[in-house]
Every structure is written in structure tokens, then in C-alpha cells.
Amino acid sequence: MEDGRALANMRSKMIRLACTGLYVSGALALLRWCAKRMMPAAHGAAGAVFPFVMKRRAPSLQILTYHRVNDEHDPFFPATPVDVFEKQMAYVARRHHVCALDEAVERLRLGDLPDHAVAITFDDGYRDNYLHAFPVVKSLSLPMTIFLATDAIGTGRTLWHDRVFSAFRDTAAPAIRGFGPAFDGASLRTVRERIGVMGQVLASLRQVHDDERNRRITELCRALEVRERVEDPELMLTWDDVKRMRGHGVSFGSHTASHPILSRLSRQETVAEIERSCAAMERHLGERPVLFAYPNGTKADFTDMTKDVLKASGFRCAVTTEFGVNEPGADRFELKRGRPWEEHLPTFAFKLSWYRLMSSHAA
Ligand SMILES: [Zn+2]
């Protein structure tokens, strides 16, 4: 195990070194040039064909996903450090064409995107988006979109996954007891162990319906001997924060009301979640949202029925957390996104262009 970690560390150091070399030597500009003009020549089952690349027909769209930006260095609530976010935004402002998401999606449809188009998005609606990310994007005049889980906005209520993060951060229990045979006895002595068990618990909680999930989280807190943090007045945005950001290039989309896993809900429950979220945004902002982000966002977390409900509710597009770059012809209700990937700027810059070069056109 330790050997595996040492190897991974070594590999990551080598990649950073290589990316730094590309970055400082100016060779990254060549990669950017290629990403602008070329794409892989893959043809169905035949796979890649010589000469392996073909001329790009139209620019593609990369959508970045952030959640939290702060310097708390809390391993249970991962966040992008403020200085890293500043450097990443300064880089994309300098080297990419940052578009507002709704404009970018429309221009993708029309095949009219600028080269190196990027859109910046945030999920959930954490207060640090206003405190730390907003000043950065405002100073650079960059547009961004924040997807709000509206039950938590201005109420002090916490989202279900944050209740799980808090429980594992706050526990002093040496092992988990009374949470079912799959977890009982798992050691919680180190931060690494707690994070490992937390990941497994989160995965199991995504498999069940909302009501069952809430019941299980209460059981989890009992098993970890901690108080369930159903409220945290500082964690999420208030509607005043939201209004202060509006008009400065920040747009807002829906991320549902309570952040359920939509594929677990009936049509009636899906409509109710989405309508409650739209109604809250309309009440506070005076207009219904047209942009949507699926909670958790993998293919397993939404269905064709979810997409039908969104279309019927007047949404123009929906973003997933499926990794990738969006080519012209992409399904507007299954837009792919990428993480900020790396805190090390040259590696971030390299991956931004590398993933664009390696993306293939939609079928
Ligand atoms: Zn989310």
C-alpha cells in the first residue's frame, strides 16, 4: 500500500515537472494550437485511424466545476485554496475565452463558439463562493454560474452530504458501531481511515430514496456518537449574497431544492423538487431559472424522465459531472464538465488543453 502511494507520488511529481517545463518553455502554446485545430480521428469500432488526428470542425466547450473556495484546509470539506483559484482564473482569463454558460450553450448549438471557450460553474451554493470566489471573478470581469440547492439558501439548513462530512469530522469514536454489518467495526482512528469510511457511506447513501437516506444519516450520527448538524448559518449563501453577486456577471441555476439523487425519485417527486427550487428562485430573484445541474451528476443520478421534466419546466440546459469536453451536437441536457483537476498551475493549464485536444466529436 505504502509502495503504491510512493509510486503515485513519484508519478505526480514527474507530471508536474514535465508540465512546468512545457509551461515555462512556451511549448504549451503548441499544445493549445493543436487543441484549437485538431481532434482525434476515431471512427466507431475501427478505433483511431492514421494519421490519428483530424481537423477540428468547430470549437468545443469546456465547463469547469467548482464547489468551495477557501483556505480552511479541512480534509472533510475539500475546497480549492483561494490563491489557487486566483491563479486558475487569471490563467483562463489570459489564455481562454470565458463565456457565460447560457450564452456558451447557445453558441455551441449554433457552431459559433470562440476558440478555447470555457464556462465556470459552482455547485450547491456555499457562502465562500461569495466571500472568496466572487471578488476574484469580478476583478477579472469573468462570468460564472452558481447552481443553488435552494432549501439551503438563506435558511441555515445543511445539505445531506454536508451532514455526513460534519459527522465524520466531528466524531471521536474509534470505530463505527450500529450502522449495519457493511460498516460496523470499521476503524476511525486516523483522518485517512475516517475519509475512507465516509466515501463508502456516501456511496451507499446515494443508492437509497431521500426518506431512507435522511433516516440513515440520523442513525449514522448515533453510530459515530456525534450531534447531527442540521443547521450551520455560515455554510451556505443567503439570498442577500445572491442578490449582491447578480448583475456582476454571475448567473444562477437550479440544483434542485434538497439535493436528492433524482434517479431515485418518482416523476411526481421530481416535479415537486424542481418546482420548489424554481419557485424559491422566482420569489427571491424575480425570474425562473433556465440552467440546471444534476445533484451528484453522474449518468446514474438522473434519467430520461428527469430530462423530460426539466424540458417541460422551461430549462434550456443541464450540466452533469460526467467528465469531458462538449462538442457541437452535444445533448444540451447532458453537458459534460471537468474539475479544476490540479492545484499546480502548469499541470492545470496542460490538462485544460490536453483534454480539449483529446475530446472527440459527438456521434
Ligand atoms: Zn451538488
Domain count, the chain: 2
- How far apart are the C-alpha atoms of 115 and 112, rounded to whole Å? 9
Q: Same structural domain for residues 255 and 313?
A: yes
Q: Tell me how far the alpha carbon of residue 158 lies from the centroid of ligand 1, in angstroms.
A: 12
Give the pLDDT of residue 50. Answer: 54
11-25, 74-88, 258-272, 312-326: segment of lowest average pLDDT: 11-25
Residue-wise pLDDT for 163-222, tens only, equals 999 999 999 999 999 999 999 999 999 999 999 999 999 999 999 998 899 999 999 999
Q: Tell me how far the alpha carbon of residue 284 lies from the centroid of ligand 1, in angstroms.
A: 21
- How far apart are the C-alpha atoms of 76 and 164, rounded to whole Å? 9
- How far apart are the C-alpha atoms of 41 and 83, rounded to whole Å? 38
Q: Tell me how far the alpha carbon of residue 3 lies from the centroid of ligand 1, in angstroms.
A: 34
Q: Same structural domain for residues 87 and 214?
A: no
Q: Which H/E stretch holds residue 250? A: strand 250-254
9-18, 236-245, 305-314: segment of lowest average pLDDT: 9-18
52: cell is 490519428
Which residues are CB-neighbours of 132 under 8 A, at least 6 positions away?
A: 69, 70, 82, 85
Residue-wise pLDDT for 9-40, tens only, equals 888 888 888 878 878 777 777 777 777 776 66
Has residue 313 been placed in a domain? yes
Q: Tell me how far the alpha carbon of residue 241 lies from the centroid of ligand 1, in angstroms.
A: 19
Q: Tell me how far the alpha carbon of residue 278 lies from the centroid of ligand 1, in angstroms.
A: 16
**Tell me, what CATH number does 292's domain have?**
3.20.20.370
Q: Which comes out higher in pLDDT, residue 279 or 50?
A: 279
Q: Same structural domain for residues 94 and 198?
A: no
Residue 272 clears pLDDT 90, i.e. is over it: yes
Has residue 356 been placed in a domain? no
Q: Tell me how far the alpha carbon of residue 36 lies from the centroid of ligand 1, in angstroms.
A: 31
Q: Same structural domain for residues 288 and 210?
A: no
Q: Same structural domain for residues 281 and 148?
A: yes
Mean pLDDT of 122-144: 98
Q: Tell me how far the alpha carbon of residue 227 lies from the centroid of ligand 1, in angstroms.
A: 23
From residue 23, give the alpha-carbon distance in Å to each of 3, 12, 36, 214, 229: 30, 16, 17, 47, 44
Domain edge (last residue) among 223, 252, 278: 223
Q: Same structural domain for residues 135 and 274?
A: yes
Q: Residue 198 sits in which domain range?
A: 160-223
Q: Same structural domain for residues 94 and 217?
A: no
Has residue 47 been placed in a domain? no
Tell which residue, 202, 68, 206, has the closest CA to residue 125: 68
Q: How many helices (H) and strands (E) does the chain have?
A: 13, 10
Mean pLDDT of 57-86: 93
